A and B are shown apart, each in its own frame.
Chain A
Amino acid sequence: MSFEDWYRQDRLPHIYCAGCGNGTIINCTLAAIDQMGWKKEETVFVSGIGCSSRAPGYILTDSLHTTHGRALAFATGVKLGNPDLNVVVFTGDGDLAAIGGNHFIHACRRNINLTVVCMNNQIYGMTGGQGSPTTPKGCLSSTTPYGCAEIPFDLCELAIAAGANYVSRWTSYHVKELEKAIKVGFETPGFSFIEALVQCPTAFGRRNKFRQVADHVEYLRSHSLLKAKYDRMVQQGEQIPEDMYVVGELMRRSRPALGVKP
């Protein structure tokens, strides 16, 4: 499958660092769109600020690259202005969970008919590797030189609690699973949230002893705990290790949604 005609060839080369996981996530999203059969003129990408938010600029559709944290508020206006448009939001952990946290919970609460793909690299990659709300405890960043002392956000739990209809988490290792999850997100009316943990060799891996890009991807793979296994472990009263990420479909429901055409 080729997505070449969905990319703005005249914008290359892109700004992503060698080994960045964001390209994988963009490809998975475009693959899911391809399966949906969406047309370019009926698809709009919206983003805020950060590495992830540069993605819409490389895709050949209408796109809105907005202010830091506000992508969901802009996207809400786009969707309500023209509900015929398929609106996809690319965001990151800093954009969505820190400066944009308020818009995130309210977009979930309204259950507005958007699909949000969050590239969670667990750090502010673009601005110099500052710790983000998802930087794991103990991890090094330019603002946590002695190890992050704060508890990270679980973005999926947040989305579920706030009312999103579809919530799923995968990593840049789980390409096929991620692609399928994004497609299910597209198909589910209401707010769909797909978190994709990604490696960031420049800002995160470099500081946290991932000498090779593959080491970081392998870490994401080996620290992923399938939802089914997680459920079984919980049922059997087993201890869930703190550094594991539950991956898989975490919520699918059909609460009333905003911006859905009757």
Chain B
Amino acid sequence: MKSFHMSTPSHAFASSFGKIGPALLSVGTLILAWELYARFSGISPTMLPAPSRVVTQAIQSWPALLDNTLPTISATLLGFACSLMAAFIFSVLIDFFKPLRRALFPVFIISQTLPLVAIAPLIVLWFGFGLTPKIMLVALVTFFPMLVALVQGYAATDEDIEALLASMGASPLRIFLLARLPSSLPYFFAGLRISITYAVVGAIFAEYAGAAKGLGIYILNAKNNFRPDLVLAAVLVSATLTLVLFGTTVLIQRLAMPWDRLAGEHKP
């Protein structure tokens, strides 16, 4: 395990490049190959636009893109917030009343097997073109992973800590708050990182099935107008959005769990 102290800026730079360097290299190679193929193979830009063209088009259509990105962001965040709240409430209920797990999990698992292609148009049909069906779809795809993460997290509590608290006379509720809830944090954040990527995809899919505005409907329109460059520009925006949300969860985890990165440090 690496445990050296970073003393100088050049060390820090070298170390962070060491971490992201390989990723930059692989993505860069891929984009370069694509650019070269699009330019020199004679393929039509309406079939496969070069990355450079996608970026120029994205910049040119920026107002329209932004106008369609904001509804996607609100659908993603609102849907995810609802899903988190529901997952937390159900996880606590399941933790305190174990038989609930057997009653509820089959229902939730079935909900995960529903194909989005089928369910998205139905929800739009039932709840209209507004924000509600998007929130519901985002919640549908993110709820179960979050619930599983939390339930697993509670179960991962150190038995010694629970026995210690019990010997101190702590009630089951105190034990939950003092030990089980904090123990679930690493699992919660792992679930969060996975779910947030599902959330963006879920929102775009819901818009694809029917919306006034949003990246999903923008992609559908661009496709119908034979503009693959604009489809890919929207994909670029959604990928950036996902990366930003992913990075935010990592940042929140660092702030919420400052002890998590200390294990490899120098000990007195």
A binds B: no
Which residues of B come within 8 Å of A, CB atoms?
A: none
Which residues of A come within 8 Å of B, CB atoms?
A: none
